[in-house]
Structure 1
């Protein structure tokens, strides 16, 4: 799911891992994730969402599925200065 890190590095950062799966995962990927992570962990991934990973559709979908309302704006990159 995260091609630029080793599996161990990816799993050591649950927000990064879950954000990628919640955006790009297949039904089978999500079935496995839902068996190993709680809804609270998924909500935390949304709360701590990293810029540039979630798309608008996934962002809205997961907020609805997890009952998080209102839906905040997508995480944005902040440029210094």
Structure 2
């Protein structure tokens, strides 16, 4: 469970998790954070990084679910957070049906 200031995430939640109320969205902060990391504009990404810090961003990325990140964002955040080197980005998470 990620611990962040949910109140501070509400403006980002209302913009990036538009299908839920901000109150509902911030009850799962890792989803809001992943959504901003994936499709956020430059200023919102900078705001998020300042609010939650790199450790939380790493936590969200390393526990991402299938479909939360596109390839470009996946690669960017792995490089940005020091989780992989050039040409060593792990594969995107995939859904498995058993």
State the aligned residue count: 80
RMSD: 1.3
Query: 2:93 & 2:22 partners in 1: Cα distance?
Result: 24
Aligned to 1:39: 54
Moved more, 33-42 or 11-20: 11-20
Aligned to 1:25: 40
Larger Rg: 2
The 8 Å contact of residues 19 and 45 in structure 1, kept in 2 or not, is answered as yes
Structure 1 segments of 4 or more deviating over 4 A?
none
Tell me the TM-score normalized by structure 1.
Answer: 0.88
Tell me the TM-score normalized by structure 2.
Answer: 0.74
Deviation string, structure 1 residues 32-72 (Cα, Å, up to 9, x no partner): 11121110000011011021120011000000000002532
Aligned to 2:20: 5
Match 1:71 to one of 78, 84, 89: 89
For structure 1, the residue ranges without an aligned partner over 5 or more in a row are none
For structure 2, the residue ranges without an aligned partner over 5 or more in a row are 1-15
Name the SS of the counterpart of 2:35 in structure 1.
helix
